[in-house]
A and B are shown apart, each in its own frame.
Chain A
Amino acid sequence: GAVVSQHPSWVICKSGTSVKIECRSLDFQATTMFWYRQFPKQSLMLMATSNEGSKATYEQGVEKDKFLINHASLTLSTLTVTSAHPEDSSFYICSARDRRDGVLYGYTFGSGTRLTVV
């Protein structure tokens, strides 16, 4: 089945630095990638939707200058947390629509990245 590889699995960074998270679709073309944030004991919160070759669409309340999303190819989308602060510490996870030959098979999720800003 479709696989989305997300790296890194966890990262600790200093306050003020930037962190890049990558999501790659391994055996299918992900024209659309969704980026979520999850706080402990809470459900997934959609941050933004990225489409290959165009600007990402951010959800209300999500700072686009802080959470930079790039979807330059059909198999790679990146989320960069810029000037990270401790309140950005969270679990970030990406998801892609597994759509092949016009048929939607479902959504495939990355394994997530646990970001800790110290």
Chain B
Amino acid sequence: KNEVEQSPQNLTAQEGEFITINCSYSVGISALHWLQQHPGGGIVSLFMLSSGKKKHGRLIATINIQEKHSSLHITASHPRDSAVYICAVRSFSNDYKLSFGAGTTVTVRA
């Protein structure tokens, strides 16, 4: 079983809709990262968080350390938000490397 599980695997939304992507992990972590990968392949780091909530523009990331769960929300979604969103964690036992979820493919239709 993968240390990091994401859901859903795929998501299609209409422009303007609120989107939620979930991430569950099974190990103790020092931090969780949300990444965005566009069709061209480049990866952008969206958030790094170890507690609470962070907001950047229309993106909100939350984490519940006790429940080992994080969510990424996209408010007022737009077609340019279409990408693969990847959850990754740094565990206490290996604070160095990232363990990745399989990614959630988000498609926002105009």
**A interface residue numbers (CB < 8 A to B):** 32, 34, 38, 42-44, 46, 49, 91, 93, 95, 104-112, 114
Contacts and interface: CB of A to CB of B under 8 A. Distances in A.
A108 B101 contact: no
A43 B43 CA distance: 12
Given A46-B97, A49-B97, A114-B41, A109 B103 contact: no
Given A93-B41, A106-B45, A106-B48, 9 more contacts: A32-B96, A34-B97, A42-B102, A43-B86, A44-B86, A93-B43, A95-B98, A109-B45, A110-B42
Given A43-B86, A106-B33, A112 B97 contact: no
Contacts, number: 46
Contact of B44 (A43, A46, A49, A109): A109
Contacts of B98: 34, 44, 46, 95, 107
Contacts of B100: 43-44
